[in-house]
């Protein structure tokens, strides 16, 4: 894949920018990446993006890092991976290095506290917005299988506090079983 | 050799934290506090607090913070590379097979099951962030939330931000920064 430095700069600056604003844990970067790479740049399709998130989520390591490795690899192979990893890791590296010097006064500052308190409401709204959109798309597939997986896994994690690893494992296996079933029933027909 | 020790320690942290975010916490604690005594338990809790207030994954934040304290900037870089390395190897291997055998029923099937569950997991993470925002971190669950602790400013910010995002397709980072600014003004002067 032969891509100019402009492309790599765009890739680096967008992952850097996204990572610098991922407050509140790994899942937040997912909607932001979706907005940037799917809606704005149209580099990746939404369905593929969800696949990448599923892989990022079910492999070891931070979701944000895994997702950016996948996006870099998808868009520009190994050089792309290197660029996106750098873009994702640098903001926390820089910010935490600075904070480790000023930790005590940072923690005591009411300005910081109030800004972060307001921002958490904004973060919640961003996640809500993307969840509504993604959920709608799942229902639009009109598949009882995917819709019920979504509903049951939501209830499992929110109400019954089921371990996330277990949910991922079970959903993956259910998907496998469903795929096998379709493959076998197709063979019988032909 | 302190660099090697840092690298190996954070390599294990990267390798064993599946599911991202808070899944990494007990593993970091075991390596950094219990095994190597690089930090006290109190400092470890501080790291978690900082991670919630700053962008970036908890694992990357703690590798920077610990690396900095043990061996300066070089230590921070080594620990971060160690933390990212397992993800790189594993995620790239899977990505390679995903793009090579995307049409294989095994991968297609498993992803069909995983995709809807990812939407649910994002939704549930969103709900806990919303709970934290609306009750300023004072409620541990939606059922036990005390209405007298409801943060009206955060509630209005959330609804306004959600409407702006849904109706006007606004840039999420602008919305987050805007709610931080408005939050600061309200909490400081009201």
Contact state of A164 with B184 under an 8 Å Cβ cutoff: no
Give a yes or no: residue B21 inside a domain.
yes
B85 touches chain A (CB under 8 A): no
Based on the domain organization, do B67 and B142 belong to the same domain?
no
Give a yes or no: residue B142 inside a domain.
yes
The answer for residues whose C-beta is within 8 angstroms of residue B109's C-beta and 6 or more apart is A175, A176, A177, A178, A179, A180, A182
- What is the torsional sign of CA A139, A144, A145, A149? positive
Residues 7-26 of B with CB under 8 A from A: 14-24
Give a yes or no: residue B105 inside a domain.
no
Q: DSSP letter string over A52-110?
A: HHHHHHHSBS-HHHHHHHHHHHHHHHHHHHHHHHHHHHHHHHHHHHHHHHHHHHHHH-H
Q: Give the pLDDT band (50/70/90) at residue B123.
A: confident
Of the three residues B49, B79, B100, the one that is the final residue of a domain is B100
Give a yes or no: residue B133 inside a domain.
yes
The answer for residues whose C-beta is within 8 angstroms of residue B176's C-beta and 6 or more apart is A21, A23, A119, A122, A123, A126
Q: In this predicted structure, what is the pLDDT of residue A97?
A: 86
B181 touches chain A (CB under 8 A): yes
Q: Quick: pLDDT tens for A31-81.
A: 788 888 898 889 998 888 888 887 887 777 888 899 999 999 999 989 999
What ipTM is given for this predicted complex?
0.71
Based on the domain organization, do B115 and B65 belong to the same domain?
no
Of the three residues B36, B71, B100, the one that is the final residue of a domain is B100
Based on the domain organization, do B7 and B88 belong to the same domain?
yes
Based on the domain organization, do B64 and B121 belong to the same domain?
no
**Which is higher by pLDDT, B103 or B129?**
B129
Based on the domain organization, do B78 and B119 belong to the same domain?
no
Q: Which residue on chain A is closest to B81 by alpha carbon?
A: A89
Based on the domain organization, do B96 and B129 belong to the same domain?
no
Residues of chain A neighbouring B55 (CB-CB closer than 8 A): 19-23, 91-92, 95
Give a yes or no: residue B178 inside a domain.
yes
In terms of residue numbers, what domain contains B58? 2-100
Give a yes or no: residue B48 inside a domain.
yes
B35 touches chain A (CB under 8 A): no
Lowest mean pLDDT segment, chosen from A84-93, B154-163, B168-177, B178-187: B168-177
- Helix axis angle, B105-134 to A164-189, nearest 10°: 150
Q: In this predicted structure, what is the pLDDT of residue B175?
A: 85
Size of interface A-B (CB pairs under 8 A): 357
Q: What is the mean pLDDT of chain A?
A: 84
Q: Give the pLDDT band (50/70/90) at residue A159.
A: confident
Based on the domain organization, do B84 and B142 belong to the same domain?
no
Contact state of B120 with A157 under an 8 Å Cβ cutoff: yes
Based on the domain organization, do B83 and B137 belong to the same domain?
no
- End-to-end CA distance of chain B: give it in Å, rounded: 55
Based on the domain organization, do B10 and B84 belong to the same domain?
yes
Based on the domain organization, do B75 and B138 belong to the same domain?
no
Based on the domain organization, do B157 and B91 belong to the same domain?
no
Averaged pLDDT, A157-169: 80
Residues of chain B neighbouring A126 (CB-CB closer than 8 A): 161, 165, 172, 175-176
Of the three residues B66, B100, B134, the one that is the final residue of a domain is B100
Based on the domain organization, do B87 and B25 belong to the same domain?
yes
Number of domains chain B is built from: 2
């Amino acid at each position: 894949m032969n891509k100019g430095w402009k492309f790599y700069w765009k890739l680096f600056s967008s992952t850097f920018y996204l990572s610098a604003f991922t407050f509140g844990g790994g899942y937040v970067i997912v909607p932001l990446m979706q907005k940037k790479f799917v809606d704005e740049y149209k580099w990746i399709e939404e369905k593929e993006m969800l696949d990448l998130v599923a892989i990022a989520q079910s492999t070891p390591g931070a979701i944000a890092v895994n997702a950016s490795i996948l996006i870099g690899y998808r868009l520009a192979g190994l050089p792309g991976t290197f660029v996106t990893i750098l873009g994702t890791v640098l903001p926390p590296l820089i910010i935490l290095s600075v904070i480790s010097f000023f930790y005590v006064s940072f923690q005591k500052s009411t300005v910081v506290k109030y800004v972060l308190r307001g921002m958490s409401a904004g973060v919640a709204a961003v996640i809500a917005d993307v969840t509504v959109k993604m959920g709608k798309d799942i229902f639009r597939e009109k598949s009882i299988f995917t819709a019920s997986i979504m509903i049951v896994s939501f209830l499992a994690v929110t109400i019954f506090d089921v371990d996330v690893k277990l949910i991922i494992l079970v959903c993956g296996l259910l998907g496998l079983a469903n795929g096998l079933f379709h493959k076998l029933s197709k063979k019988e027909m032909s | 050799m302190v660099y090697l020790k840092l690298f190996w320690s954070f390599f294990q942290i990267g390798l064993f934290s599946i599911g991202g975010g808070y899944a990494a916490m007990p593993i970091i604690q075991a390596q950094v506090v219990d095994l190597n005594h690089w930090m006290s338990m109190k400092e470890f809790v501080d790291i978690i607090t900082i991670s919630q207030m700053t962008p970036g994954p908890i694992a990357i934040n703690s590798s920077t913070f610990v690396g900095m304290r043990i061996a300066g900037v070089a230590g921070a870089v080594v620990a971060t590379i160690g933390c990212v390395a397992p993800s790189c190897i594993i995620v790239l291997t899977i990505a390679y097979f995903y793009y090579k055998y995307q049409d294989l029923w095994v991968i297609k099937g498993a992803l069909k099951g995983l995709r809807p569950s990812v939407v649910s997991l994002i939704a549930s993470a969103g709900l806990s962030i919303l709970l934290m925002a609306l009750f300023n971190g004072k409620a541990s669950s939606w059922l036990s939330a005390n209405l007298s602790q409801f943060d009206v400013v955060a509630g209005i910010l959330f609804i306004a931000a959600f409407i702006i995002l849904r109706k006007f397709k606004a840039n999420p980072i602008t919305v987050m920064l805007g709610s931080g600014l408005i939050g600061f003004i309200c909490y400081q002067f009201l």
